[in-house]
Structure 1
Amino acid sequence: MNRSASIKDVANHASVAVGTVSNVLNYPDRVSQRTKDRVLRAINELGFVRNDAARQLRAGHSRTIGLIVLDVGNPFFTSVVRAAEDAAALQGSAVLLGDSGHDASRESNYIDLFQEQRVQGLLISPVGDVTARIDQLRERGVPTVLVDRLADESKYSSVSVDDDAGGYLAARHLLDTGRRRLAFVGGPTSIRQVADRLQGAERAVKEESDATLEVLDSDGQTVLAGRRVGNLLVERGPGELPDGIFCANDLLALGVMQSLTMTHTLRIPEDIALIGYDDIDFAVSAVVPLSSIRQPTEALGRTAIELLAEELESENPKHRAVIFTPELVVRQSTAPAKGSSAG
C-alpha cells in the first residue's frame, strides 16, 4: 500500500525548502505568487493532505468545537446541533458531537476525549452538576458554554429557555380550556429541565382552587416511555383518569397519544387534552395534531456559538446568560372541554 505524500515530498517535487511549503500552507502572504503556484501544483500532483493533527499539536488547539447533548435522538437536540454547526461553519470551525444519553460517566468520557482533541471550546447540555469539570477546563484554556441550562453568569456563559415559564404556559392552557384534573408526565426530576417544567405547572395549578396535579414519573424521555405511561392510564377506571396531560417533551406526549388512541376507548381531546414541549416537527403531523411549547432551537444553537466566540476572543471575557422565552402553540389535542366557556 502506497504511503501518503509528506511535506518533504512536496518540497522535493517543487524544488523548494520544507519551510517554504509550510509557509504556503500556513502563511501564504509570505510567499511569492510564482512559488506558491509551484508548491500548490506539487500538492495537487502528489495528492498531499496536510496532517491537521500535527498542526493542532503545535498550535495547542484545533478548528473544532466539542458539543455534548443529552439525547441526539430527540429532534429538539438535533435542531440545536444543526444550528450550531451552521453558525460554526461561518466562523471556519467544525462541530464534534457527543451524545451523553443522560449518562454522567459517558458525558465525562466525551469531555476527556474533546480535551485530547484540543478543541477550541466546549458546548454542553449537562447531565448534572459539571461545575468542577468546567472549572478544570477553563484552567486548561478550554472555554465552556452551557446549552439549555442556565448558569451563574458571574462564572460561565449559558444559553437556555425559561422552562418554568414554559411549564406554566402548558398547565395554564389546559386550565383555560376547562380541565381541572391535570397530570404531568416526565422524569427523572433530577434533570433540571424536567424539574423546572413541573415547577411551572405546579405554579399554574395553584391558581385554581379546584384544580389538581398528579405527577406520573416516566423512565425516560422517549416515545416508548410515553407509551408505558399511557398503558398504565388506560388500565384505570373512568373516574380515576386525568382530563388534561402535560408531558415534559413531545416524544413522551406522542407515546401517550399512541397508547390512548390505540385502545379506541379514550379520545383526544374529548376525554383527555394533551400538550407536549419542544414543538418538534412530528407534533404537527401526529394523528391528533399536538399542542406544544415551542423552544427556539435555531436561536439556541446559534447563540451558543456566538457566546463561545466571545469567550475565545477575550482574555477576560464578560460572561453572559441568555434566556429565551418559550411560546405556546395550540393545536387540536387541547381543544376546549365540552361545556367549557373557553374560546
Structure 2
Amino acid sequence: MVAAGQEATIRVPATSANLGPGFDSLGLAVSLFDTVRVRTTTSGTVSVAVTGEGADELPSDGTHLVARTLLSTLERAGFGCPGLELETQNLIPHGRGLGSSAAAIVSAVLAANFLLPEDNRVDEAGVLQLCSTLEGHPDNVAPALLGALAISWETGRLFRSTRVPVHQAIVPVAAIPSTSLSTETARALLPASVSHSSAATNAGRAALLVHALSHRPEFLLDATADLLHQDYRAQAMLPSATLMRQLRAQGFPAVISGAGPTVMTLATSDAEAEAVKEVIESLSVDQTNADSLPRWRVLKLPVAVEGAKLVVHQRNGP
C-alpha cells in the first residue's frame, strides 16, 4: 500500500500530433495546460473534482481517466492506495486533437510514479513506455513529457522518443471548433495501404519538417504537406479541412492537429500569427450553409519548451 499523506501537483501541456506528414511520429508541445493535484488519504475512497473543460461531463469518482490510470499503474507495480483525492483544472479541450487524453495519462503515470516507494519507481524511459502503451502510440505523450518537438519511433516492442528544440520564431495558432471528433472515428477512415509514391513523398516532407521546425521556418509550408491521412479524414471534419486548405492557399502552413478537428497553423512570427487570426475571423463571417466554416476559438499557443512538470508538496513514507 502506498503511504497516505502524500501530495503533489502535475502540470502537463497540450500537444499537436502529426503536424502534417509526421503521422504517428511527430508531436509538438504547446502552452495550454492541464493541472492535476493529487493527495493520498486514509478515506478508502476516490474523489475527483474537475474544473474547466469537461467539468459538467467527466466523472468524479474512480472511473475518471486520471484516477483510473493512476490506480491501475499502482496496481501494475503491486501497490494499492488507501484513499485518493484529485483536483483537475482542465484547459485542454476534449476531442479536439490537442492531446487531452495523453495529458491525462501522463499526469496519472507521473503521479503514480511519485506515490511509489523510490525503489519501485520507473525511470524516464519507463514512464514513456507505459504512457505510450496506455495511449496506443507515443506521438502525443512524448511531447507532453519532453516538451518542444518530439520525434517518436518503435524498436521491437519499445517506444522511444527524442526531443528537438524548436526555432524561437515559430508561433503555433490553434483554430478550435465547438465540435469534437474521436480519434477512433478519424482512424477508421484511413486506408489499409497507400501508394509507394505517397509514402516516399511523406517521408521527405517529414524529414524537411524537422529541419524547418528547428532551423529553417521558411520551409514550413512545403514541409507540412501531407498525403497519408488528412485528405482521407476530411469527410469527418469538412469545416476543418476547408479552413486548412484556405489557409494553405494563402501561404500559411496549416495542418489538422492530431486526429482533428482543430486546425493548427505554424506561424513564423507574431505578425504572421496575427495575420492568421484575421484570416480565420474573416472566413467565419456570414457563412450559413452546412459545409461552411463555423466560428472558431482562435488561440496563439507558444511552443511549450518544457514538458510535464511535477511539484512535490509533501511526502510521507519512504
TM-score by shorter chain over 0.5: no
Please give the TM-score of this superposition, normalised by the length of structure 2.
0.26
Larger Rg: 1
Q: Which structure shows the bigger proportion of residues in strand conformation?
A: 2
Higher relative contact order (CA 8 A, sep 6+): 2
